[in-house]
Amino acid sequence: MSLEMKLKEELAVDLGGVSKDIVSGFWQEAYERLFDGSISFVSAVHPHIEFSLFEVLGEILSHGYFCTGFLPTQISFPTLATMILGCQVQISPYILLEPLFDYFSDEDRSVLSTALQFSKDNPNMKFPSQILDSLLNVFCHFQCLRVPDPLSLGLTLVDIDCFVFLTNPMSAINAVNLAIPQSHVPFWKSMSSDLYKLYLALTATPFKVLSLLAERTFFNASQETVFGYLQQFIENITKDQVKMFLQFCMQY
């Protein structure tokens, strides 16, 4: 399968890089218009969003990968996997929980980290009132009315994750899945056991970004200094911050 794109007033020959940049740019726009989240995205189901747009995403999602090797890895893996493989896909609790922390605010993430550490250290004790009150406040954001305890906290978080990334946006997820071209379905089914590995391989990391910053010739010392600062910055950011950094770069 081949894809040829021509850019207005662009003389470069498209050998794959231009096409990939266009597909990537499309998804950056889609994240803003059709998804919720800041680091890990989930399809948004809101009255102002035309549902037919999700059907278009299904074709672009699959064709985009076949033609350019690009997957929108800023979509949370549970959501993306279900978009591609359908509701029958099996996802381990460990993998389910990973995007949940990206979806939380910094404050909520801090509350959960404290509660999980307490649960690990004191599995048979009750949460102190301060931790419990903070947890209940976080849970309310996701319409969860359970009163957590250290032993059941992990399972409750898995249920919240399923609600956020699967149950709540399921109508949009199904629309994307049904629009995957039938000729592509056998390939994706054959990839079901390796989809998470592919997802990780295509996810941006500081090391991958640094490897793309090829050594270059500088016109002056100032350029070289700025380039050095950029390298240092990327070396010291987290995987989640890389996603936000790249999203920022795509906007300018």
The band of 71, judged by pLDDT with boundaries at 50, 70 and 90, is: very high
The domains of the chain are located at 17-90+170-202, 93-165, 206-250
Lowest mean pLDDT among 10-19, 50-59, 166-175: 10-19
Given a cut of 50, whether residue 242 has pLDDT beyond it is: yes
CB atoms within 10 A of CB 100: 22
Given a contact cutoff of 8 angstroms between Cβ atoms, the answer to whether 40 and 61 are in contact is no
pLDDT tens string 144-164: 888 889 999 999 999 999 999
Whether the full predicted model's pTM is greater than 0.85, yes or no, is no
Torsion of CA 56, 57, 59, 61, to 10 degrees: 170
**Once rounded to an integer, what is the mean pLDDT over residues 127-155?**
91
